[in-house]
Chains A and B, each alone.
Chain A
Amino acid sequence: MTTTLARPRTPVAPVAGPVAPGAPAPPSFRRRVIHVLGPDWAAGLAFAAPMLALMVGLIGWPFAQALWMSLHQVIGPRWVQFIGLENYAAQLRDPQFRRALLTTVQFTAESVAIKFVIGLVAALALHNVRRYRALLTALILAPYIVPEVVTAATWRFLYNPQFGGLNATLQVLHAWTNGLIGSAGGIGWTSNPAWAIHAMVAVNVWKGVPFFTLLALAGLKSIEKELYEAAAIDGATAWQRFLHVTLPGMKYVIIVETLFSLISTFNTFGMIYLITAGGPGGSTKVYAIRVYEQIGSMLFGRAVALAMLIAPLLAVLVVILGRFMRGSQSEDDRESAAYVGLLWLVWPVKVVLRFALDVFWLVNRYAEAVGEAASRALGRLLLRGGARGTRRAGKVAMGLLVALPIAVITFIELYPFYWILVTAFKTNQQLATYTNVFWPAPWSTEHFVFLFTKSQFPTWLRNTVIVALSATAISLSVSSLGAYALVRLRWFGASFISTAILLTYLMPGIMLVVPLFQIFALFRLTNTLGSLILAYPIGLMPFACWLLMGYYRSIPEELEESALIDGCNKFLAFRHIVFPLVLPALVVVALFSITGAWNEFLMAFVFIQSNEATTLPVGLGKLIIGDVFPWGPIMAASITMSVPVVAFYGFSQRFLVEGLTAGSVKG
Chain B
Amino acid sequence: MAHAAGQHSPPVTRRSLFARAGGAAIAGGLLAGPLTAGLAQAGVSAQAKISGKFQVVTPLDFHPDHNKYIQDTVKAFVAARGWDTDISDINAYQGGTDIYQRLQAQKAAGTPVDILLTHSLDARLEFMYDLTRDATPVVEAFQSRFGRPYSTSTVATLIKNKWVNAPWYTRGEGYWLRKDKFAEVGLDTASDPIFGTWDGMLQAARLVSRPDQKFYGWGLTVNQCGDGDYIVQDVMWQWGGALADPTGEIVTLYSPETIDAMSWLSDVYLNPANAPILPPGVNSWNDTGNNEAWLAGSIAFTFNAATLWAKSILDDTRLGDGTRLDDVTDAVMAPLGPYGARQQRVSGSGFHFMNGSKNFDAAVELATHFMSPEIYDPMLKISYGYVLPAYAAQWDNPFVVENKLASKFKDVVFATPPFIGLPHRGPPTDAAAAVGQQTVLTGMMGEILAGKPVIAAVRDAHLRCVDIYQAFGLKGR
By a beta-carbon cutoff of 8 Å, the part of chain A in contact with chain B is: 73, 75-78, 80, 90, 94-96, 156, 159-163, 167, 185-186, 188-191, 193, 196, 276-283, 292-299, 302, 428-429, 432-434, 454, 510, 513-514, 517-518, 521-522, 526-527, 602, 605-606, 609-611, 618, 621-622, 624-629
* Contact assessment for B437 and A626 in the assembled complex, using a CB-CB cutoff below 8 Å: no
> Please, which residues of chain B bring their CB within 8 A of the CB of A189?
281, 284
* Contact assessment for A280 and B96 in the assembled complex, using a CB-CB cutoff below 8 Å: no
> Please, which residues of chain A bring their CB within 8 A of the CB of B286?
156, 276-277
> Please, which residues of chain B bring their CB within 8 A of the CB of A606?
98, 101-102, 105
* Contact assessment for A186 and B60 in the assembled complex, using a CB-CB cutoff below 8 Å: no
* Contact assessment for B281 and A294 in the assembled complex, using a CB-CB cutoff below 8 Å: no
Q: Does B236 contact A (CB under 8 A)?
A: no
Among all A-B residue pairs, the 7 with the closest Cβ atoms: A281-B446, A161-B281, A521-B109, A297-B434, A191-B284, A279-B224, A517-B105
CA distance A562 to B282 in the complex (A): 71
* Contact assessment for A283 and B446 in the assembled complex, using a CB-CB cutoff below 8 Å: yes
**In the complex, how many angstroms separate the beta carbon of B61 from the nearest chain A beta carbon?**
6
Q: A191-B223, A297-B468, A626-B62 are in contact. Are A526 and B106 (CB under 8 A)?
A: yes
* Contact assessment for B449 and A626 in the assembled complex, using a CB-CB cutoff below 8 Å: no
CA distance A280 to B93 in the complex (A): 20
> Please, which residues of chain A bring their CB within 8 A of the CB of B62?
625-628
Q: A162-B293, A191-B282, A283-B450 are in contact. Are A293 and B439 (CB under 8 A)?
A: yes
* Contact assessment for A433 and B318 in the assembled complex, using a CB-CB cutoff below 8 Å: yes
Q: Which of B134-167 contact A (CB under 8 A)?
A: none
CA distance A406 to B242 in the complex (A): 57
> Please, which residues of chain A bring their CB within 8 A of the CB of B101?
295, 510, 513-514, 517, 606
| Cross-chain pairs A/B with CB under 8 angstroms, 6 sampled | A167-B280, A282-B224, A433-B320, A624-B91, A626-B91, A627-B62
Q: A280-B224, A280-B449 are in contact. Are A625 and B60 (CB under 8 A)?
A: yes
* Contact assessment for A628 and B105 in the assembled complex, using a CB-CB cutoff below 8 Å: no
Q: Does B7 contact A (CB under 8 A)?
A: no
> Please, which residues of chain B bring their CB within 8 A of the CB of A293?
437-439
* Contact assessment for A622 and B91 in the assembled complex, using a CB-CB cutoff below 8 Å: yes
**B55, B91, B106, B445: the one within 8 Å of A625 (CB):** B91
**In the complex, how many angstroms separate the beta carbon of A502 from the nearest chain B beta carbon?**
25
> Please, which residues of chain A bring their CB within 8 A of the CB of B473?
75, 80
CA distance A302 to B286 in the complex (A): 27
* Contact assessment for A77 and B130 in the assembled complex, using a CB-CB cutoff below 8 Å: yes
**B88, B285, B317: the one within 8 Å of A610 (CB):** B88
CA distance A94 to B440 in the complex (A): 13
**In the complex, how many angstroms separate the beta carbon of B123 from the nearest chain A beta carbon?**
14
Nearest-neighbor residue (CB-CB) of A513 within chain B: B101
CA distance A517 to B430 in the complex (A): 25
Q: Which of B14-30 contact A (CB under 8 A)?
A: none
Most buried by A among B94, B102, B284: B284
* Contact assessment for B315 and A429 in the assembled complex, using a CB-CB cutoff below 8 Å: yes
* Contact assessment for A292 and B311 in the assembled complex, using a CB-CB cutoff below 8 Å: no
> Please, which residues of chain A bring their CB within 8 A of the CB of B104?
77, 514
> Please, which residues of chain A bring their CB within 8 A of the CB of B443?
279, 281-282
* Contact assessment for A432 and B317 in the assembled complex, using a CB-CB cutoff below 8 Å: yes
**In the complex, how many angstroms separate the beta carbon of A156 from the nearest chain B beta carbon?**
8
* Contact assessment for B94 and A282 in the assembled complex, using a CB-CB cutoff below 8 Å: no
Nearest-neighbor residue (CB-CB) of A516 within chain B: B105
**In the complex, how many angstroms separate the beta carbon of A141 from the nearest chain B beta carbon?**
28
**A78, A90, A510, A625: the one within 8 Å of B61 (CB):** A625
The 0/1 profile, CB within 8 Å of A marked 1, for residues 82-123 of chain B is 000011110111101110111011101111010000000000
Q: Which of B187-195, B296-304, B336-344 contacts A (4 or more CB under 8 A)?
A: B296-304
Count: A-B pairs, CB below 8 Å: 239
* Contact assessment for A162 and B109 in the assembled complex, using a CB-CB cutoff below 8 Å: no
**In the complex, how many angstroms separate the beta carbon of B101 from the nearest chain A beta carbon?**
6
CA distance A521 to B433 in the complex (A): 30
Q: Does B305 contact A (CB under 8 A)?
A: yes
> Please, which residues of chain A bring their CB within 8 A of the CB of B57?
609
By a beta-carbon cutoff of 8 Å, the part of chain B in contact with chain A is: 1, 55, 57, 60-62, 64, 86-89, 91-94, 96-98, 100-102, 104-106, 108-111, 113, 125, 128-130, 214, 223-227, 279-289, 291-293, 295-298, 304-305, 307-308, 311, 315, 317-320, 430, 433-435, 437-439, 442-443, 445-447, 449-450, 460, 464, 467-468, 471-473
CA distance A198 to B86 in the complex (A): 45
* Contact assessment for A602 and B280 in the assembled complex, using a CB-CB cutoff below 8 Å: no
* Contact assessment for A185 and B292 in the assembled complex, using a CB-CB cutoff below 8 Å: no
> Please, which residues of chain B bring their CB within 8 A of the CB of A625?
60-62, 91-93
> Please, which residues of chain A bring their CB within 8 A of the CB of B130?
77
* Contact assessment for A279 and B223 in the assembled complex, using a CB-CB cutoff below 8 Å: yes
* Contact assessment for A432 and B88 in the assembled complex, using a CB-CB cutoff below 8 Å: no
> Please, which residues of chain A bring their CB within 8 A of the CB of B223?
191, 279-280
* Contact assessment for B129 and A77 in the assembled complex, using a CB-CB cutoff below 8 Å: yes
**In the complex, how many angstroms separate the beta carbon of B307 from the nearest chain A beta carbon?**
6
**B111, B315, B437: the one within 8 Å of A521 (CB):** B111
* Contact assessment for B105 and A160 in the assembled complex, using a CB-CB cutoff below 8 Å: no
* Contact assessment for B464 and A159 in the assembled complex, using a CB-CB cutoff below 8 Å: no
* Contact assessment for B283 and A191 in the assembled complex, using a CB-CB cutoff below 8 Å: yes
**In the complex, how many angstroms separate the beta carbon of A478 from the nearest chain B beta carbon?**
25
* Contact assessment for B224 and A277 in the assembled complex, using a CB-CB cutoff below 8 Å: yes
* Contact assessment for B446 and A628 in the assembled complex, using a CB-CB cutoff below 8 Å: no
* Contact assessment for A161 and B280 in the assembled complex, using a CB-CB cutoff below 8 Å: yes
Q: A77-B130, A628-B307 are in contact. Are A185 and B113 (CB under 8 A)?
A: no
Q: A276-B224, A281-B446, A282-B446 are in contact. Are A433 and B472 (CB under 8 A)?
A: no
**A161, A295, A298: the one within 8 Å of B128 (CB):** A298
* Contact assessment for A627 and B287 in the assembled complex, using a CB-CB cutoff below 8 Å: yes
CA distance A528 to B89 in the complex (A): 16
* Contact assessment for A162 and B279 in the assembled complex, using a CB-CB cutoff below 8 Å: yes
> Please, which residues of chain A bring their CB within 8 A of the CB of B94?
605, 618, 621-622, 624
CA distance A167 to B282 in the complex (A): 14
* Contact assessment for B281 and A162 in the assembled complex, using a CB-CB cutoff below 8 Å: yes
* Contact assessment for A163 and B292 in the assembled complex, using a CB-CB cutoff below 8 Å: yes
Nearest-neighbor residue (CB-CB) of B444 within chain A: A281
* Contact assessment for A626 and B87 in the assembled complex, using a CB-CB cutoff below 8 Å: no
> Please, which residues of chain A bring their CB within 8 A of the CB of B320?
433
Most buried by B among A167, A510, A521: A521
**B60, B125, B281: the one within 8 Å of A190 (CB):** B281
* Contact assessment for B439 and A277 in the assembled complex, using a CB-CB cutoff below 8 Å: yes
* Contact assessment for A162 and B91 in the assembled complex, using a CB-CB cutoff below 8 Å: no
Most buried by A among B128, B281, B433, B447: B281
Q: A163-B296, A513-B101, A610-B88 are in contact. Are A454 and B288 (CB under 8 A)?
A: no
CA distance A434 to B291 in the complex (A): 13
Nearest-neighbor residue (CB-CB) of A522 within chain B: B109
**B125, B281, B288, B315: the one within 8 Å of A186 (CB):** B281
> Please, which residues of chain B bring their CB within 8 A of the CB of A602?
98
* Contact assessment for A188 and B280 in the assembled complex, using a CB-CB cutoff below 8 Å: yes
Nearest-neighbor residue (CB-CB) of B449 within chain A: A281
CA distance A434 to B318 in the complex (A): 12
**In the complex, how many angstroms separate the beta carbon of B69 from the nearest chain A beta carbon?**
14
Q: A80-B473, A282-B447 are in contact. Are A298 and B430 (CB under 8 A)?
A: yes
**In the complex, how many angstroms separate the beta carbon of B309 from the nearest chain A beta carbon?**
11
Q: A281-B447, A454-B64, A609-B88 are in contact. Are A627 and B98 (CB under 8 A)?
A: no
> Please, which residues of chain B bring their CB within 8 A of the CB of A94?
467
* Contact assessment for B96 and A526 in the assembled complex, using a CB-CB cutoff below 8 Å: no
CA distance A156 to B285 in the complex (A): 10
> Please, which residues of chain B bring their CB within 8 A of the CB of A186?
280-281
> Please, which residues of chain A bring their CB within 8 A of the CB of B227?
627
CA distance A359 to B379 in the complex (A): 72
Q: A429-B318, A626-B62, A627-B305 are in contact. Are A297 and B437 (CB under 8 A)?
A: yes
**B308, B438, B449: the one within 8 Å of A294 (CB):** B438
CA distance A618 to B98 in the complex (A): 12
* Contact assessment for A296 and B93 in the assembled complex, using a CB-CB cutoff below 8 Å: no
> Please, which residues of chain A bring their CB within 8 A of the CB of B87?
611
**In the complex, how many angstroms separate the beta carbon of A645 from the nearest chain B beta carbon?**
23
> Please, which residues of chain B bring their CB within 8 A of the CB of A510?
97, 101
CA distance A191 to B106 in the complex (A): 38
